[in-house]
Copies of this chain bind each other. A is one copy, B any other.
Amino acid sequence: MTNGTGGKCGLHLVNNQRDCQSCTLPRKCIGADLDQSQSNNITNIIRKRGPFKAGETIFKIEDPFRSIFVIQSGSVKIESSLDDGTPLIHGFYFGSELIGIEAVGDVKYQCDAVVLDTTWVCELPFDKLETLCSQMPLLQHEILELLGKRLRYTNRTIVQGRYLSADRRFLLFLNDLYQRRGCITKDGKRSVLLPMTKGDIAIHLGLRPESLSRALAKLQDEGVIRNHAREIQILGDKRTSLSCLWV
């Protein structure tokens, strides 16, 4: 709740071509199923905020929970820490994705939302959203669906990762990332640009940076990926490298 200029914005900004079926997180924005007048009701309660710059927070631990946010552009990491100070990174979120819903039903946020790139968000005051939900069953259904999906997403990624070795754990992460923000380079290589540091990835995967670095080196040796500074290319055919993880 630090930054932000006033203003209104539509919620359907990020309208990419990828199909939503295969995505592990909702790409579709809130309210896509609603008609025009209902959609206007939502537009009336939201407020665009930004730009947040790298390192700034959209919300912080102990801030009172009042809103959820749809990221319009940029990228955000959700982090907290254990009692002993061990940092935890719960996830990374990008354009069209939702942050803050982990706090639904609580009085305060339990995580920091730290911006990685210059980021714009739309703020949705949750009490007003709840009121709208009462009036619009479709919207209510959508919010319940979003919460359920997030529940499954965190469950799957975290639980599953626990049983994998460092390199396969990274591949699982990379696959998810590729589906959410992967692109094809001019020469036809599947590629992911990393907005976060490798150290952040390591923390998120429950590894030491050294271990992740070694895993990356190993995967590159095996010809599965190409490990540039902030870009990972996915080599090898799907069958051998990633499809085993495409649940």
Interfacial residues, chain A to chain B (CB-CB below 8 A): 82-83, 86, 88, 90, 101-106, 110, 130-131, 133-134, 137, 140-141, 143-152, 154-155, 158-160, 162-163, 206, 244, 247
Q: Contact at B144–A105, with CB atoms within 8 Å?
A: yes
Q: Contact at A83–B247, with CB atoms within 8 Å?
A: yes
Q: Contact at A148–B86, with CB atoms within 8 Å?
A: no
Please tell me which one of the listed residues B83, B140, B152 contacts residue A130 in the complex, with CB atoms under 8 A apart.
B140
Q: Contact at A148–B206, with CB atoms within 8 Å?
A: no
Contacts A130-B137, A154-B154, A159-B158 given: A102-B148 contact, CB under 8 Å?
A: yes
Contacts A144-B130, A151-B147 given: A159-B105 contact, CB under 8 Å?
A: no
- Inside 8 A of A155's CB, which chain B residues have their CB? 90, 102, 154, 158
From A206, which residue of chain B is reached at the shortest CB distance?
A: B162
Most buried by B among A86, A102, A145, A162: A162
20 A–B pairs (Cβ distance < 8 Å), ordered by A:
A82-B160, A86-B163, A90-B155, A90-B159, A102-B152, A104-B144, A104-B148, A105-B144, A105-B146, A105-B148, A130-B137, A130-B141, A130-B144, A133-B134, A144-B144, A144-B147, A154-B154, A158-B159, A158-B162, A163-B206
> How far apart are the CA atoms of A173 and B240 in the complex, in Å?
37
Q: Which 7 A-B pairs have the closest CB atoms?
A: A105-B145, A105-B148, A104-B148, A147-B147, A162-B206, A134-B137, A158-B158
From A155, which residue of chain B is reached at the shortest CB distance?
A: B154
Contacts A83-B247, A134-B137 given: A110-B150 contact, CB under 8 Å?
A: no
> How far apart are the CA atoms of A162 and B90 in the complex, in Å?
12
- Inside 8 A of A101's CB, which chain B residues have their CB? 148, 151
From A141, which residue of chain B is reached at the shortest CB distance?
A: B130
Question: Smallest CB–CB gap between A50 and chain B, Å?
Answer: 25
